[in-house]
Structure 1
């Protein structure tokens, strides 16, 4: 099947050797952990819990230090505590961590000052430095991604044990050589043991494509991002392909509509999927549909627009009597200046100060907590509307 957004590896033999080596490495998570997460997500599907998912747009190998991992973990846990009290429900906390090393790109190449090189596709594939050596896809990065993920997971497990919380990992199932190499057979069926849950992005969710075919075959809970061009027929076809048994906790749709489209597009999708008897979880990604380029060439997002998309998402679910399952964000625990606004506002002139993302702009720690309080208000209003 056609596989979109795959790197153009220059050495097929080296890639095959790297994938074979990866296939002999230890699993990063256990099948039982994936099953437990599916049980937690089944509670979300029943309207008894909510999801908080967040982390870097694209993790980097150099950004996997103890301080950075701890800062993201603490930020997500603080957000979860704020949301749980208002939602009067447990929060299933999932990090975009320990594997989010690859990113889809709008173009295969990038040109600067008349020089054209392959686009940076994340540390799993190539380097961000604009040189031919750095930008050439390197298969040995697959093994390094596994090693760094294992180190990150060990730290996350220690942090979760110390704080007596559950914490799950996720990433986009994008580079299929990596995902397949870490897929292991069990008596219950194959699991992707690189993460507890994986998702398919908006650019790779073609029904006849290799990514949908891949996630249809694994036992993990999975998600698919759906954008403003998604039709009800598209959504229903994905449900039939990915969750034919209508198993609560199996499938999540992550709506990435944009603030301008969410109130117009989402209602029909939710209505038709619900009418078909699907227990799919609906989560809002208010980040990707609201990106723009500011003066100076920095990609950014406005916190007030991000909040507006969340409000639209909740308005749709309140009107339909369905459950707003949670939020999927790009954030960091660092004091970066990548998104605009917030209680301690980042202004356009602040953007160059600490613009450190490897790809798309992330909420900083303060903005992430601002978002958590906004979500708390939205869940409190939602709870009142149900009485």
Structure 2
């Protein structure tokens, strides 16, 4: 096995470029460029993911469904970082566990499609069949930009570089300092319930830090740098194998894909005999695998045997995405299948409550949305099922945006309705949780994890439902 052995396999979601010579020139250039991340950083994440697998940390993976090159600006990068830090702070307070933060950013430019073409309607009412939009690193949204262009791979690299450079600078500049949580942005949150809960958490943090200083354990000293900064890792779907391969470097330890700290396999590219599985098994990065209704228990175990034959703890994150109506029928079987193998205790179970709950807007069937109640139901059902099966939910995988006032998902503490979608629907891909809806999820998770930490043997339906409804009830009474 080598990092090039994937070329002998069938490639799903492959892109057909019109000029092979042009593609080769671009790929040759990519192969000479520095990696976006380092093997040392990837190994650091490997260690932290092992802690998640052991139940000593919690995984928060979140960001845009797919990035546009235009998202590479200070305002939008900062907004996602601030929201991630707020959510992780809330989770840490409830779970009393470190949070491993992984962003869907700095490379999430590719987009799998079920069909190679789509029908669009022109301003004059005429309908035209065009190549599907595959993401900014393949082609453009404009009808005159649909032909795949290899130069976009270079643009993806440099936009990813700029994004990651800004992330590192922003975090190292003290914006993640826990000594000033009251300064963190919460100004545009409308819910009085969320305002009260966040004030309660920040007051508790300030009080604890003040106590530590009083007894001589000064939390502001250099020795306590963990309170002043955080680790933040980047990830994307490993869809474009030519791109991933050209940024993979061989070391004494093995091959590292330096396009990101971790990449994941989607539903459309995890064929056992496919090129993507072959590439993923060749790299030392922690990897994710989307697990949904189309995956049988046998396929799940066969996949794990291929990508993690040495049963490395934390190497594989199983990102479950069933849908609120299917999770009770499917997740228990998958959990039991893993428990019956040597992979038990080695994998991380992570809930993606977004992808299985995409529906059409009743007012406008061409618009995709997600119902917040369905998202909460799948997430809390996952917690309940894992508890009942003597398993552990180790993380959550969310599509969200830090941009203010976005209206793409229905419900949450803002009580968004179907009529609200047209007010500020910005995504060109899948609908994302907005700022307040993301915090809603963080508080619900925090309370459930807190209950488990306090000794709850399982997460009962009554507790889950009370948590899910408390935000709406508070919002209604405010």
Q: Deviations over 1:303-342 (max 9, x none)?
A: 1110000011111110011110110010010121111111
Aligned match for 1:372, one of 442, 465, 469: 442
Question: CA shift at 1:361, angstroms?
Answer: 0.6
Task: Compare 268-277 and 116-125 and name the one that shifted more.
Answer: 268-277
Aligned match for 1:8, one of 16, 21, 26: 16
What is the aligned partner in structure 2 of residue 19 from structure 1?
Answer: 27
Question: CA shift at 1:382, angstroms?
Answer: 2.9
Q: Does 1:225 align with 2:290?
A: yes
What is the aligned partner in structure 2 of residue 58 from structure 1?
Answer: 66
Contact 1:96–1:171 (8 Å) recurs in 2:
yes
What is the aligned partner in structure 2 of residue 30 from structure 1?
Answer: 38
5+ long unaligned stretches in structure 1: none
Q: Does 1:291 align with 2:325?
A: no
What is the aligned partner in structure 2 of residue 128 from structure 1?
Answer: 141
2-structure distance, mates of 1:158, 1:386: 43
Aligned match for 1:197, one of 262, 275, 290: 262
Q: Does 1:307 align with 2:376?
A: yes
| TM-score in terms of structure 1 length | 0.97
2-structure distance, mates of 1:305, 1:90: 27
Q: Deviations over 1:10-50 (max 9, x none)?
A: 21221111111111111100001000001000001111111
In structure 2, the residue corresponding to 1:51 is in which secondary structure? strand
What is the aligned partner in structure 2 of residue 145 from structure 1?
Answer: 156
Contact 1:338–1:351 (8 Å) recurs in 2:
yes
What is the aligned partner in structure 2 of residue 81 from structure 1?
Answer: 89
2-structure distance, mates of 1:386, 1:244: 33
Question: CA shift at 1:102, angstroms?
Answer: 0.4
In structure 2, the residue corresponding to 1:260 is in which secondary structure? coil
In structure 2, the residue corresponding to 1:100 is in which secondary structure? coil
1-structure distance, mates of 2:133, 2:444: 34
What is the aligned partner in structure 1 of residue 419 from structure 2?
Answer: 349
Q: Deviations over 1:258-292 (max 9, x none)?
A: 11111110111111112202111100000000001
Map 1:174-253 to 2 at 5 A.
174-253=239-318
Task: Compare 106-115 and 150-159 and name the one that shifted more.
Answer: 106-115
Contact 1:84–1:91 (8 Å) recurs in 2:
yes
Q: Does 1:95 align with 2:103?
A: yes
2-structure distance, mates of 1:106, 1:353: 29
Question: CA shift at 1:386, angstroms?
Answer: 4.3
What is the aligned partner in structure 1 of residue 167 from structure 2?
Answer: 156
1-structure distance, mates of 2:128, 2:94: 52
1-structure distance, mates of 2:53, 2:136: 34
What is the aligned partner in structure 1 of residue 348 from structure 2?
Answer: 281
Question: CA shift at 1:300, angstroms?
Answer: 0.5
In structure 1, the residue corresponding to 2:409 is in which secondary structure? coil
Question: CA shift at 1:349, angstroms?
Answer: 1.2
Question: CA shift at 1:3, angstroms?
Answer: 1.1
Aligned match for 2:451, one of 372, 381, 386: 381
What is the aligned partner in structure 1 of residue 77 from structure 2?
Answer: 69
In structure 1, the residue corresponding to 2:148 is in which secondary structure? coil
5+ long unaligned stretches in structure 2: 1-8, 122-126, 177-228, 459-478
What is the aligned partner in structure 2 of residue 320 from structure 1?
Answer: 389
| Largest Rg, 1 or 2 | 2
Number of residues paired by the alignment? 385
| TM-score in terms of structure 2 length | 0.79
RMSD of aligned alpha carbons: 1.1
